[in-house]
Structure 1
Amino acid sequence: MADEGRLYIALYARGGRARMATKEDKFHWAFITGPDYESPETRATRHHVTHGVEMIDGTPQMMWKYCEQDTPTGWTSQLLVRVLIGEVKSMDRVNFIFHNTPLKHDTEGWNCVKWVEDAFTTIMQDDNALGEAVTDWDAIRDKAMDYVDAKIKSGRFELCRDFENDEVPTWDMVGNKELAT
């Protein structure tokens, strides 16, 4: 079966304080599915969950919602880093999993990081979703956190930069190398 693109973990800037012991929720976590080769014109899709007010039987309640958004493959607002974790074998399977990963509205402490982990675990159980890929969630989480921390410490996100002309800092976990600084 032909390769249908790439799967990334993406970390975005977010407000609020971190509550998780290992501070992953200092960032908003999402998946990005995109093409193998990028140019200024190529597009990708961001897959993530958001927490907001929904009206349920006339009563406002905080609810989780799955979002799928068209996005450029380059720099976007709040995007800090991407970590390439695998080659997509079947975009239909990957999208099915994203759409069907449960939203745990009533689970204390559940968040976008947990949704990404849950979706990743399900993707890893589906032999038809990905081709070559990193299969260890802990390794992915740790690399994403280490990578974004290194970029922050290096001053990568200082306000004087011209972000629109920059590439998104991207680490390739499959090839164990940096693709864009």
Structure 2
Amino acid sequence: MAKQKLKIMVSSTVHGSDSDLDQIHGILNGYGYEVIMSKNGTVYVPIGVSNEEACLQAVVDCDLFLGVIFPRYGSGITHKEFSKAIEIDKPRWFISHHFIEYTRQLMKQFMYDANGIRNDFQIKYTPVLDNIKVVDMYNEAIQNHLDSDKRRSHWAQPFFKTSDTFDFLKTQFADMNKRIIELEKLNDIDNE
């Protein structure tokens, strides 16, 4: 049993993914984590702050960060949470719906110029993918802009249905004591 409960933030769009998120929440909760998830109302909202500010503070306050990339972009707060987790180098993992990598490969011919610079290509809303910024979010998560030997904490486990993530979640999060030890070592390095 863990000496302490780690806080893991699950960052994702919610619309259309309620049951998927309920399953992920249940698994992580079952492993003993305190799950921070806006869908479940477990993001602390200080008096007088915006939803976005509360969500970004939750990224700072959590111990671990799990980003879930569904084919919906939503309001853009999830993307800002991902960016914040990367900016502060929060220990993080991502799971990404299989459609995102597929779309990324299909659309990169339109999204980038000959020099590999992102242009202003956009798509119209569709029920399959509401915004091409989902691909931008994925590219940021995997640190696509960096050479492969420079990327860190950029794992994006693909899934088609939520049950495809169960082995990944078990492997990464079932042993909370192991993560506590890793965080303690990381904090010792940071304090040197």
TM-score (norm 2): 0.28
Greater fraction helix: 2
Greater fraction strand: 1
